[in-house]
Homo-oligomer: A and B are copies of this chain.
Amino acid sequence: MKFFNLQKINARYASELKKVAEEVIDSGWYLQGDRVAAFEKSLAEYVGCRYAVTVGNGLDALRLILKAYIEMGIMAEGDEIIVPANTFIASVLAITDNRLVPVFAEPDENTFNLDFSHIESLITPRTRAIMIVHLYGRSCWGAGLVELARKYNLKIIEDNAQAMGALGKVEDLGDSVHTGALGDAAGISFYPTKNLGALGDSGAITTDDDRLAEIVRSLGNYGSGKKYYNEYQGLNSRMDEIQAAFLSVKLKYLDEMNACRNRLADMYSEAIDIPDVILPQAGGKGEHVWHQYVIRTTCRNALQSYLQNEGIATQIHYPVPPHKQNCYREYNSLVFPITEKLSREVLSLPISPEMSESDIDRVSGVINRFFK
């Protein structure tokens, strides 16, 4: 069994995808055109924010948000950004690429997400933002976070690479809001395996901040708003028309696919019944879109090999936390016990909308057998 059968997933939409691909090919217009504009509009509507600006990929989305805040004078080289220690390295690369300083925070081992009660002690006069990561598809939000941000005048930046479609409860609104519309700005990844995945690299920024949106758009277009006039020292980071067309097709089915993932997750949580395995928690209604279904066990490596021998592919998200990577030697001596424990214990099981109940039974059965 494949870890993720993207071929089968996209086969559902194949005729629509082929149709829009033909239209784009015939149109003669491949960048910054109507399809990108239409997708940005639908995306902003779906997320529930005023602006969506498409870019080249998820890492660029985060980089450009920070770069724009620097242009706006809201942060400057050497300022600190609080970020979970247990994230995909891209969250941290976005920070260091801007010569900002990542201040790592430990997660809550039950949610895998930031533990807000640990954050206040990390705040210094140079802290400018908290980057939350909705890891594995579970939204990371709460009154504790909002209070801290208000109290210390910090921006909340969402790394929304993994949680398109998830909801966060906004206590003072008594309301549920989509990830991407919770903080001050959010970066989305449409890497092909994401819940909303393109057929190549792309990403987007969502925000209500008109100035931020305008600057980010310019920064991704060589720093230019008006052709051949450059206000900023920008980069090239744009979504192709063909990817926007693909994403417009797939966005229509996102909620349906997420509901599917939810059912599969429920089945796993029913079927795996082993004291040595810690199952992931769903959170409140709509809070989890199950980008990954991640179990924990102290015999992770042995279990992974066992599953592999049974023909079941699994993945580890992620085996080495950013602060332990060779590229961050300056942080290698830091110690984050929860993060490091998680990196040794987590195992992502196959979960993708095209899986059947019997697939889930099969995987669960092998896991239960391993521990017997």
Contacts and interface: CB of A to CB of B under 8 A. Distances in A.
Interface of A: 5-11, 14, 17-18, 21-22, 24-31, 56-60, 63, 89-90, 93, 96-97, 191-192, 198-201, 222-224, 228-238, 240-243, 316, 318-320, 322, 325-328
B11 A57 contact: no
Q: What is the count of identical protomers in the complex?
A: 2
Contacts of A17: 25
Contact of A201 (B6, B56, B192, B318): B56
Contacts of A5: 28
Given A21-B22, A242-B242, A231 B14 contact: no
Contact of A327 (B18, B96, B233): B233
A238 B18 CA distance: 23
A280 to B, nearest CB: 20
**Chain B CB within 10 A, most for which of A10, A30, A57, A233:** A30
The 9 A-B pairs with the shortest beta carbon distances in the complex, nearest first, are A7-B28, A200-B240, A59-B236, A230-B325, A57-B236, A21-B21, A30-B192, A230-B327, A6-B28
Contacts of A326: 229-231
A18 B18 CA distance: 8
A233 B96 contact: yes
A222 B7 contact: no
Contacts of A63: 235
A233 B28 contact: no
A85 to B, nearest CB: 15
Contacts of A26: 7, 11, 14
A222 B90 contact: yes
A242 B245 CA distance: 14
A31 B240 contact: no
Contacts of A191: 31
A315 to B, nearest CB: 9
A230 B93 CA distance: 11
A201 B238 contact: yes
Contacts of A10: 25, 28
